[in-house]
Amino acid sequence: MTNQMIALEKSKPEPGLWQVEAPVPEIGPEDVLIRINKTGICGTDIHIWNWDEWAQRTVPVPLITGHEFAGEIVELGRDVTGLEIGQRCSGEGHLIGRQSRQSRAGRFHLDPETRGIGVNEQGAFAEYLRLPAFNVVPLPDAVDDEIGAILDPLGNAVHTALSYDLVGEDVLITGAGPIGIMAAAVARHVGARHVVITDVNPARLELAAQVTDVVPVNVAQEDLRDVAARLKMKQGFDVGLEMSGNQAALDQMVESLVMGGRIALLGIPPGKSPVDWSRIVFKAITLKGIYGREIFETWYKMIAMLENGLDVRRVITHRFAATDFREGFEIMRSGLSGKVVLDWR
């Protein structure tokens, strides 16, 4: 194996990524080396490409980016057990510490020392990735590399959707991006009654209807109260999954929920947003912030659901060779795509 590889790097503190030759990572005793087969482009990668305020204060330059991937193990550190060379895998991109109270209690996704591959540490937009063996998630035959490459965002959707019991419930999802659409598919898979997803982007609403049995609503054209009446809902939605990061959408969700409704928040509004806390209090609304995935409970649950019939493949709308990454980023930035997958082989 050559000691050089092709990678996509944030080489300069300005918009864009650049294809470079980089050394193949050297692994430590508790690491594995993964040959990357496919990667997904994430909204976080778009922030890094655009070099917005968040990226400028978060991402060191130069850095190989990317954190959604599937591949196969080609080298094992000397202390690694339970994994094999040639084994297909994805992996958790949050690199945790081991000293915090949260980590020592097994609540790894809440560890304050967390660092992200492709954000703080060298990432997966490359032919090879070094990853702690602890973070490796083996893939069963039922989950191919293309789906394996989008398990990270599917995990966000699963973590958000499974925050509350959805069986027989009426669910409102604000934001029909790929994660919102996958959350709708999860909600239907686990037994929600009505699932309504809102956006103002007709292309994304159309995609949502193609992926799963959902009621897509363009809130620029239709009132949610009319939708609820059409669905014969007596009081409102039981559970809200906020995926848009839009304050108006959150306000609308609060208004549309039943007394005692529950909201899981994954979307992040830019800057500081005004909140009418009286509406939250007087409707006895429960709010839960969602960060990443539960390590590793979410991974177990989503792989089990995929093996049991959960189908999110149609959320992938574009596929490119890794060398055509600029086209992939252009279509992602347009807002006219679902997930975009890059092929590194």
Mind telling me the catalytic residues? 44, 47
- In whole angstroms, give the CA distance from residue 310 to residue 36: 24
Classify residue 177 by burial, with Cβ atoms within 10 Å: 0-12, 13-18, 19+: buried
Q: What does the DSSP 8-state code read for residue 27?
A: P
* Cα dihedral value 73, 77, 78, 79, nearest 10: -100
Contacts of 78 (CB under 8 A, 6+ apart): 29
Q: Evaluate whether 188 touches 209 at the Cβ level (below 8 Å).
A: no
- In whole angstroms, give the CA distance from residue 243 to residue 179: 7
Q: What does the DSSP 8-state code read for residue 117?
A: B
Side chain identity at residue 241, one-letter code: L
Query: Helix/strand/coil (H, E, C) string of 61-89?
Result: CCEECCCEEEEEEEEECCCCCCCCCCCEE
Residue 188, SS3?
helix
In the chain, how long is the greatest CA-to-CA distance? 65
Contacts of 288 (CB under 8 A, 6+ apart): 163, 164, 262, 263, 264, 265
Distance of CA 124 to the CA centre of its chain: 15
Contacts of 287 (CB under 8 A, 6+ apart): 263, 265, 280
Q: Mark out the alpha helices in the chain (DSSP H runs).
A: 43-50, 53-58, 101-104, 145-148, 151-161, 178-189, 202-211, 224-230, 247-256, 277-282, 297-307, 325-334
